[in-house]
Structure 1
Amino acid sequence: MHVFNRLLVATDCSDRAERAEARAALLMQEHKCDDAELLTVRERGEPEILARIMNSSIESATALATENAGQALAARAELLRESYGVQLNCQVRFGRPAPEIVARADELQADLVVVGAHGGNFFSDVLLGNTADKLAHLCKAPLLVVKNEPSQAYQRILVPVDFSDDSRRAAEAALAIAPQAQITFLHALEVFFEGKMHYANVSRDIIDEYQMKAFEEAWEQLNRFISALDPGERRMQRTITFGLPGPVVRDHAKATRPDLIVLGKHGRSRLADMILGSVTRDAIDQTDSDVLVIPS
């Protein structure tokens, strides 16, 4: 069962990062979390540049850069306290964003890492894309990528499932992070050998019968999967769509616009990781929803 009692919130102190900070504050309210940290990672070479400008030692420049960044963090933490009634500690680090965020999450044993979908000076890229992808692969804690301005708790959650233990963990996390939300469980059904059947000129009726049987089996499996979660009276929907996981998840998200997509990260093989990695990247880069990635 997932709990979200210890949060790490990574920020670059930009306007876009305020969305992630606000969502983290809402989650702290919802889950009665009083253990959270606001982290910013500055460019590794910043103290050296500052030392040359000031004609001072690296130590002095590092202390000054840390103090300046710390003051900016403290101001944002105070705003969150005033707006949401939550308390966050502040931490400043220097280096590459993804490794530093992962290292700090490990040190804190964070239950959830929260980052914004776009960065400014916090990232070398204009978009978070590469950093989010690295975090999704490296982070041992659940990773929440926030894109939208939050106004309330998540109301509509999409959970793609393939009936694996990884997707079960994702489903459990979805149930835990927003207890009042409606959850849609989506299964992408790949009908193997259908292409070869077409190539062999198998009749349309036989192919349709083959598809129908595969659909019925997947539907039964999906019902068993949900039942095993013991969801109680939760509002939920079930959807099975023919196709590859990446396009199915992307198209469904674009059509239904869920507040949050929750994905399980596979760890069984390099191929499985590559396939899910593409689904994760598509969800982050090509949908408008927030994305929660659950590690295997």
Structure 2
Amino acid sequence: MGTAWFRRLLAATDLSRNGSRAVGRAVRLARLHEARVTALCAGSPGLGADVLDQARERLAGHLRRYAGGPGVDVVVRVGRVSPTVAVEVERCAADLLVVGAHGGDLPADALLGMVPENLIRSGRAPVLVVRGPPGVDCRTVLLAVDVTDSSRKAARRGIALTPGAEHYAVHVCAVPGEHLLRMHGVGEEELSQLRHVCLEEVRPRAECLVGSLASPVPPHLLVTTGSPASAVPELAGLHGADLIVTGAGARSKWEHALLGSVAGRRRLPPAAAAEHVMRRARCDVLIVQGARR
């Protein structure tokens, strides 16, 4: 079951347990999409040859455990982590970068002691942050959407990556200035009425977006109010989602609402909204930058 969107996968690992999950998930997805995998370990400049040899041996062990056959390239590079991974994404023309949630076993995280947020900001490819067991396919996927074209394209990527899953499209709308309104004495009854108006206004547009996703089975639509930073992970837990999909391109209405509720007036980079969700989620998160297709 090949797809033109996922032909080459790059799994970047720090050789920790989470890193091995990233390798395993990449291999499993590659089999689903008839894709090829490159497994990358980046070592900090100045590491000795013995440490790099250890990295190669442990990476080979990951692959013996998960790959079980040809189709996986092994790469060990030396350099600063985020730039090294970004260069490798370009070199192998990766359609998806797969990483584990942060955490290393080696002293001082000497090998790929990366923070996934850095890779989200620096890369061009979608980033899949893996927390779940690699041997289990996604059964339930939450698509965090707004009404922008970028959001639509990110949702399509998520559906294409997980064709056998049940998909939920989630739109979380925030009442503009709700926090300030509450500070100025607006009561809960009035705020509840404003939330209802917000829901009624956005629902038709959200339904239109879901209908445009060209999915064989249209996603279930969930529209609610609140802070997307907390509501999206909470809904993912409520529905037992294995994966959350969100865009991180140009700042969208969904992202603007999240930044307003979480960060006040502090200016954050465009990927910050997705990063807030990623930190709070207990499942895997797919973050699509720019959603070129």
Report the TM range for the smaller structure's normalisation. 0.7 to 0.9
Contact 1:170 1:262 in 2 (8 A): yes
- Name the CA distance, whole Å, in 2 between partners of 1:166 and 1:123: 40
- Counterpart position of 1:241: 224
> What is aligned with 2:66?
80
- The number of aligned residues is 276
Structure ranking higher in helix proportion: 1
Hey, what does 2:46 align to over in structure 1?
Answer: 45
Out of 256, 268, 277, which is 1:283 matched to? 277
CA distance in 1, matches of 2:173, 2:74: 45
Please say if residues 128 and 287 of structure 2, whose CA atoms lie closer than 8 Å, have aligned partners that are also in contact: yes
1:50 corresponds in structure 2 to none
1:56-205 correspondence runs (5 A): 61=49, 66-82=52-68, 85=69, 87-120=71-104, 124=108, 131-192=115-176
Of 72-81 and 193-202, the range deviating more from structure 2? 193-202
Structure whose CA Rg is larger: 1
Q: Given that residues 167 and 263 in structure 1 are in contact (C-alpha distance below 8 angstroms), is that contact kept between their aligned partners in structure 2?
A: yes
Secondary structure of 1:191's aligned partner:
coil
Corresponding letter in the other structure for 1:159: L
Distance 1:24 1:42 in 2: 20
1:9-52 CA distance string (max 9 Å, x none): 1112233322111111110111111x2211101121113xxxxx
Quick one: structure 1 residues 260 and 196, their matched pair in 2 at CA, closer, same or farther if it must change by over 3 Å?
closer
CA distance in 2, matches of 1:225, 1:263: 14
Q: What's the CA shift for 1:130?
A: 6.0
Q: 1:290 to 1:198 in 2, by over 3 A?
A: closer
- SS at structure 1 position matched to 2:169: strand
Alignment check: 8 A CA contact 1:11 1:122 kept: no
How many Å apart are 1:221 and its aligned residue? 0.8
**Contact kept? 1:97, 1:122, Cα under 8 Å:** no
CA RMSD between the two structures = 3.0
Task: Confirm or deny: 8 A CA contact 1:158 1:261 kept in the other structure.
Answer: yes
Change (3 A) 1:185 1:149: same
Change (3 A) 1:218 1:124: farther
* Match in the other structure for 2:262: none
Unaligned residue ranges in structure 2 (runs of 5+): 260-266
The one-letter amino acid paired with 1:21 is: V
- Cα distance change of structure 1 residues 198 and 41 upon mapping to structure 2, 3 Å threshold: closer
In structure 1, the gaps of 5 or more residues are: 48-60
Distance change (3 Å), C-alpha of 1:281 and 1:246? same
Does the 8 A contact of 2:14 with 2:109 survive in 1? no
TM (norm. structure 1) is 0.81
Separation in 2, partners of 1:103, 1:137: 14
Q: SS at 2:212's partner residue?
A: helix
Identity %: 29
Whether the 8 Å contact between 2:96 and 2:128 is mirrored in structure 1 is yes
